[in-house]
Amino acid sequence: MNHRIILRIGAVVGSLYGLILVISPNTLMNLYRAQALQDTGLYFAMLSGAMLLGWAAMNWAASNAPQIAEIHYVLLGNLVTQVLGFLVSLVRQLSDAAVPQSGWLNVAIFLVFTAAFGYLYLASPAGYRLHARSRPA
């Protein structure tokens, strides 16, 4: 799979979640069958939505790069974000009985994007060189 497809899929998913969180965070909470957000939670969800929209714009713009080497740092940022999101959502899902089962969707989304951006990062020339250095001669 080439970088354009993965970045654009990431941009679309980020845009969907971002728009919902900016416009009506509790709509997403209802879809997940989670408790409605109040005051600070609403504010933080809206800020998170704005961040997702920013990442979506960055990913869509980076998808136009002709060579994967040109967007190495975009790939690295996405990979770090997805790995951390996966770990946080997995730990939360396993450790808090109050989290609805629908939260596994987040775990799955982060896992898929972790694999996709990990693949792209290692396929990029900088990622390949970094990975190749860690191998014994």
Q: Which residues of the chain have pLDDT under 50?
A: 137
How high is the pLDDT of residue 128?
A: 58
How high is the pLDDT of residue 83?
A: 97
The H or E element spanning position 21 is helix 3-23
Contacts of 19 (CB under 8 A, 6+ apart): 49, 53
Domain regions of the chain by residue span: 3-133
How high is the pLDDT of residue 133?
A: 56
Q: How far is the C-alpha of 89 from the C-alpha of 80, rounded, in Å?
A: 14
How high is the pLDDT of residue 22?
A: 97
Do residues 45 and 84 lie in contact, with contact meaning Cβ atoms separated by under 8 Å? Answer: no
